[in-house]
Copies of this chain bind each other. A is one copy, B any other.
């Protein structure tokens, strides 16, 4: 295999610390200069940190650190990386194959003693989560590609009212895993604005030949959180919501995805939230209902009235 031999030779040549031009390498190995470029590409792709400089006195060299000391992880660092991989896997991370490769390399790269310690440490650590429907995996993969390479894609999307709107072209600026659900934040060419899309509702996704530029300052996280919890302009209109009840139920309430962001104070017997009036009377009743009698609303009275109203409506609804 002349190819592998030559690539190794190049590595050794560079490892001496010398700076070499492609032409020099091609002459030394008696191969075409084009082939040198190809080898360099291949080496970079497998993770060798090769530095290339153009122009006068240019050429190839190896990252200084790399020559001095190869990448070494302590057993603890390995463990954390492997633990982290478990989280990703359980969240339905789409690039599971590459991740699998990486983790198996990590596991291999230890002697037997370390290996047994590692596997022992890993045995006691579990992440359990809904992995998501396997059906979304291909969509997620395609999306990840599109986000990473800034390709526009065409999707057909089922919106929240079950209507299947016409196909649209979107520029996926980012993908977000929130609360174990996948979203993409994208500029929608149909509506001409940035929107967030639930990946499970993307029925179809196809790459387009167009590409886009994500604005530099754009942050998917910020956009998503703004979208989820719009900025409150008028702070004076906020209403205190005071809940009492069993510590267990209160704890749970305080980590509710919506309420947690409005938590003001938590005492041993009460949880106090600060909310806008509208949200308080539309969303909150439905958050509180499932806790039944394990919690009580202490304030405001209006919410209690609303709860009575909601409960009686539901009673009627199911009485038919």
> Which residues of chain A have a CB within 8 Å of any CB of chain B?
1, 3-4, 12, 15-17, 42, 44-52, 63, 65-66, 70-81, 83-85, 87-88, 91, 93, 95, 98-99, 101-103, 105-106, 108-115, 120-121, 123-130, 144, 147-148, 158, 160-162, 172-180, 200, 214, 219-221, 224-225, 246-248, 251, 255, 257, 260, 286-287, 289-293, 297, 304, 307-308, 310-315, 317-319
Residues of B near A247 (CB, < 8 A) are: 158, 162
Of B70, B80, B108, B293, which is within 8 A of A102 by CB?
A: B80
Instruction: Supply 7 further A-B pairs (C-beta < 8 A) apart from A51-B112, A128-B176, A130-B255.
Output: A17-B112, A46-B74, A47-B78, A74-B98, A87-B91, A293-B313, A307-B318
CB-nearest residue of chain B relative to A127? B177
- Indicate how many identical chains form the complex: 2
**Considering the chains assembled together, what is the distance between the CA atoms of A127 and B75 in angstroms?**
26
Residues of B near A44 (CB, < 8 A) are: 75, 111, 113-114
**Nearest CB of chain B from residue A112's CB, rounded to whole Å:** 6
Residues of B near A314 (CB, < 8 A) are: 289, 292-293, 307, 311
**Considering the chains assembled together, what is the distance between the CA atoms of A269 and B194 in angstroms?**
30
Interchain CB contact under 8 A, B51 and A72 = no
Interchain CB contact under 8 A, A174 and B49 = no
**Considering the chains assembled together, what is the distance between the CA atoms of A174 and B160 in angstroms?**
40
Interchain CB contact under 8 A, B77 and A47 = yes
If A111-B66, A178-B129 touch, whether A287 touches B286 (CB-CB below 8 Å) is no
Of B109, B161, B292, which is within 8 A of A63 by CB?
A: B109
**Considering the chains assembled together, what is the distance between the CA atoms of A313 and B289 in angstroms?**
11
Of B80, B106, B315, which is within 8 A of A88 by CB?
A: B80
- Top-6 shortest CB links A-B: A70-B70, A87-B87, A77-B102, A84-B88, A311-B315, A80-B99
Interchain CB contact under 8 A, B114 and A246 = no
**Considering the chains assembled together, what is the distance between the CA atoms of A147 and B173 in angstroms?**
41
Interchain CB contact under 8 A, B130 and A248 = no
Interchain CB contact under 8 A, B175 and A51 = no
**Considering the chains assembled together, what is the distance between the CA atoms of A291 and B283 in angstroms?**
11
Residues of B near A3 (CB, < 8 A) are: 1
**Nearest CB of chain B from residue A232's CB, rounded to whole Å:** 19
